[in-house]
Amino acid sequence: MCGIVAYIGNKPALPILIKGLRRLEYRGYDSAGVALMCDRKIERLRSVGKIENLEEKTKDSCLSGNIGIAHTRWATHGGVTEENAHPHFSTSGKLVIVHNGIIENYRELREKLKEKFEFKSETDTEVLVNLIESHYDGDLRLAVEKALLHVRGTYGLVAMHSDEPDKLVAARLGSPLVVGIDEDEFYIASDATPMLAYTKKVIFLEDGEVVEISNGKMETFNLKDESVTKCVEEIEWDDEQAEKQGYDHFMLKEIYDQPTVFEDAIRGRINMGDGTAHLGGLNMTDDEMRGIERIILIACGTASYAAMIGKYAFERLAGIPTEVDVASEFRYRDPIVNDKTLVFAISQSGETADTLAAVREAKRKGAFVRGVVNVVGSTIARETDGGSYIHAGPELAVASTKAYTNMVAIMTLYALQFGRLKRITPATGQRLIKALLEIPEKMNSILKQTDEIKKIAEKYKDSRDFMYLGRGINFPVALEGSLKLKEISYIHAEAYPAGEMKHGPIALLSPEFPVFALMTKNQLYEKTRSNIEEVRARDTKVILIANEGDENAKELADDVIYIPPTMELLEPLLNTIPLQIFAYHMAVLLEKDVDRPRNLAKSVTVE
C-alpha cells in the first residue's frame, strides 16, 4: 500500500528511483511521482496511472541530480488526481516529502495552518509537509522531529529541503522504512526490494525513529532528539529472485516457485529419527510449551486461511484448543488471553497494520506472542518474542501463492513440535515427516497439468459466479480458491463447507453457476461425494479436484483435476495449487492485470 523510494549518493538518481518504483508496483498504486534536487532547486513530476506514464514524462524533462525521492500512491485522502499524487511541496516550494500512512488529525492541523499556508490538494500529506515547514529554522531533521510530536496516526516519510541540498531525512511510525547502505551512498524504501540490485546491507527503522543522511554519513535519532545506535543487517534475497525469470507474470513464477521454497521452509527444521520438528525461534522451554492451554492464530486474508489449516493441525496433533481470529476483529473484541495462551501472528509482509495491533494487544495481556512472517526484519518479526520466517523469498504479485503454502508448512511443523511433546508417538511423527518430504515432487506433478487446467478455464471464463465447496481441512482451501478468483479475475465467488450448502446457498445453483469442489480421499470423502451429488441434481456444472485413480469422480463432474494423494493434514499443500492455476488462467483469459489487481495492495499498512 503506497511505496517510497529515495536515493542520495554519486549516481544519477532518476533511473534508480524509477527502477525502485517498478519494484514496488506489487504494493498497489494509482499514481506516481518523483522529485530531484537540481542545483539547489527541487524539480517534481507526477502522473496518474501506471509508472510508464511517469517515465514518459521524464523523457521530456531535464531532471538530473544525485538526490531524489519518489512515490507510488494508493488513494486514502482525496481522489486519484495529479494534484493529490506525491511528492508534495510545502507552500514555499522549498520543502518536499513523500509519505505513507494516515495522519488522523490532519483536519485539525489543517485548520491551524490554513492562515499561513496554501493547500492545493485534498491529502493529509500536504498538511504534514506544511506542518514540518512551520517548524523549519534551518535544520530539516529538527523540523521533522518537532512536527511529528503534533501528529496522530501513522507515517513513513522522506523529506528534502532546497536550503539543505545534500540531505535526506526519513522518519517512521507504523509504516515501514528500510535504509540500504553502500559506500558513500544510501537508499531508502518501503521494503528492501528496490535496493537489492545495489546493496544487501540495511537497517530497519523502528517506530519513533528519524534518520538523517548527509555528506556520506547517516545518523539515527528518536523524537526526543537522542542519538540511536542501529545494527546493520544483511538481506538474504538477491536481485535475481525479484525478477520474473521468463514467466509472463510474477504470480505464475511464484506458483511455480512453490516446490523449491517449500523445501526451504522445512529444511533443517525436521528430525526424522525422533519424528519431530524443531523451530528454534519458538523461544520456549518444554515446560512452557506443556503449560500452553490455548492457541490463537491471528491473520488477515490469505494468511487467515493458512491459519485455519493450522487450527486443524494443532488440535489433531497436539490436542490444544485452537482458534483463528481475523486480526481486525481480535483487536476490538477484548479477547480473553492470559499467560497460558500462545498467539501466532501470521503475515507475509510482517507489516499488516491490523495484525500488528493485535500483536500488541496480545502482548499487553500477557500471552506468549510469536510471529510467522516472510519479510526478514519486518515489524511483526521484531515486535514478537520469537517465531519463524517462512523462507518463501520475495513475493511480488499482490495475490499470495507461495507464501500461503509455506505458512501452512510452518503451522504444520509447529503443530508437530507440540504434538510430539504432548501426545503423538515417534512413529506418527515419522509418517508425517515422510509425507512432508514427498510434497515438493507431488507439487511438481500438479504443475505439469497447467495446460489442462488452462483448457478448463477456457470453458468457464464467461461465468460470472462460482461456488467453492470443501469439507474439513479442505474448507479453508475452498475459501482460498474463492479468494484467488475474486482477487485477480473480479468474478464473484463464494466458498462454503460442503455440508452447509443445503442450508441456504443451494438456492443459488443453476446451470450458469458452476461449482468447484474438493473431493480428495480422506475421512470425509463419502460425505463430500453426497454433497456433490446434490449439486449435480440441480443441473449445475461441477469441476472436481480428486485423487489420482478415483474413477468415480468422472461420474460426478464435468471436469476433473487429478492430483497425487497425501496425508489428510497435508492435503491443502497440494489441493490449493490447481485453484491458484485456475484463477491465474481465468484472469489472463479475461485480460486482467494479474500481478496488480484493482483496489488491492500487497501489504495493508493502514487500518
Distance CA 402, CA 391 (A): 10
Candidate list 2, 253, 300, 486, residue with the active-site label = 2
Closest C-alpha among 127, 135, 76, 87 to residue 106 = 127
* DSSP helix/strand/coil, 167: strand
Distance CA 528, CA 477 (A): 14
Report residue 342: phi and psi, to 5°. -110, 125
Residue 217 catalytic?
Answer: no
* DSSP helix/strand/coil, 258: helix
- In the chain, the amino acid numbered 329 is E
Contact (Cβ atoms closer than 8 angstroms) between residue 70 and residue 158: no
Q: What is 457-510 written as a DSSP string?
A: HHHHTT--EEEEEE-GGGHHHHHHHHHHHHHHH--EEEEEEGGGGGGTGGGG-S
CA 313, 392, 476, 336 dihedral sign is positive
Distance CA 276, CA 256 (A): 28
Closest C-alpha among 90, 107, 91 to residue 99 = 90
Distance CA 167, CA 35 (A): 14
| CA triple 255-196-154, angle to 5 deg | 85
Distance CA 130, CA 99 (A): 13
Distance CA 168, CA 188 (A): 9
Residue 2 catalytic?
Answer: yes
Distance CA 502, CA 176 (A): 46
Distance CA 489, CA 474 (A): 22
> For residue 565, is the peptide bond before it cis, meaning its omega torsion is within 30 degrees of 0?
no
Candidate list 50, 167, 442, 602, residue with the active-site label = 602
Cα 238 from chain centre = 19
Provide the residue count of the chain: 607
579 to each of 46, 258, 553, how far by Cα in Å? 39, 14, 17
Contact (Cβ atoms closer than 8 angstroms) between residue 525 and residue 552: no
Residue with cell 559506500: 183
- In the chain, the amino acid numbered 456 is I
CA 292, 310, 324, 255 dihedral sign is positive
Q: Is 246 exposed, middle or buried (0-12, 13-18, 19+ CB in 10 A)?
A: exposed
Which are the catalytic amino acids? 2, 602
